[in-house]
Amino acid sequence: MNQMWRIFLTACLMSAYLFAESSASAAPVDDIIEYVRIIDQSDPQSLIRSATEEVQDEIRARAIDPHDTVRIMDIINRDILPYTNIHRTAQLAMGHYWKMATPSQREEITQQFQILLIHTYSGALGLLTPGMKFKYPAAPASNNERDAVVRTIAAYNGDFVEIDYRLYRASDGWRVYDINLLGVWLVQVYKQQFSEAINRNGIDGFIRFLEDRNRKFHDENQNKQLTMLTAPQ
């Protein structure tokens, strides 16, 4: 894998889409809030900068084994999860289908979506290096007091990837709900995928699809953890 794609995957990890593990392995929300670090939320750029630096500090202190899913989940729960809003992301990705879903279906979709995202991108954490740098260009003129885009540039060994985060101001501070990687806003990508899946199998069929994918990812992560525990020291 070339360095450009390593940075791309790392950007995925840093994004809004790093949410909780499955309910069997993720810490309860109350427990997460108890030990979450203090992140500067005075403005959108400060939040992104602070959260990114927290994760980088983890890497500088001790390299991450990509098989160590327990530590990966700990970092995600502490340094990223509290500053995102998966409910808003899922609602936007569902588009008009959101109104067609029952409250219980919406809840299940949100839960399964967050599990899928964390499984999909958790492997990128093992690619982070202490030498990776992030720059923060000026904010777009379209930003306002309720919705904002934060531009960042990830740089390593001469390779550069621009990462844009979209945030909105909630009652408890700024929260990330979308990310632009290499010119593609991921909510739009998921919106197309969700629409195709629901058209084929309906909302209940779409939920079952997410559940099946999450079971597969969960088994793969369990195998990774077992490999790490049984490997010769």
- pLDDT for 228 beyond 80: no
Predicted TM-score of the model (pTM): 0.75
Every domain of the chain and the residues it spans? 3-230
DSSP β-ladder status, 184-185 and 173-181: antiparallel
Least confident of 62-66, 140-144, 198-202: 62-66
- Rounded to whole angstroms, how far apart are CA atoms 160 and 162? 7
Alpha carbon separation from 90 to 112, 162, 226 (Å, rounded): 10, 24, 32
Radius of gyration of the chain (CA): 18
pLDDT of residue 170: 86
75 — phi, psi (to 5°)? -65, -45
- Rounded to whole angstroms, how far apart are CA atoms 113 and 131? 32
Least confident of 47-61, 125-139, 160-174: 125-139
- Rounded to whole angstroms, how far apart are CA atoms 222 and 134? 32
Query: What does the DSSP 8-state code read for residue 99?
Result: H
84 — phi, psi (to 5°)? -130, 170
| Mean predicted confidence (pLDDT) in 32-53 | 71
Provide CATH code, domain 3-230: 3.10.450.710
Higher-confidence position of 108 and 190: 108
| Mean predicted confidence (pLDDT) in 5-33 | 40
pLDDT digits (tens, 9 = 90+) for 104-124: 999 999 999 888 777 665 666
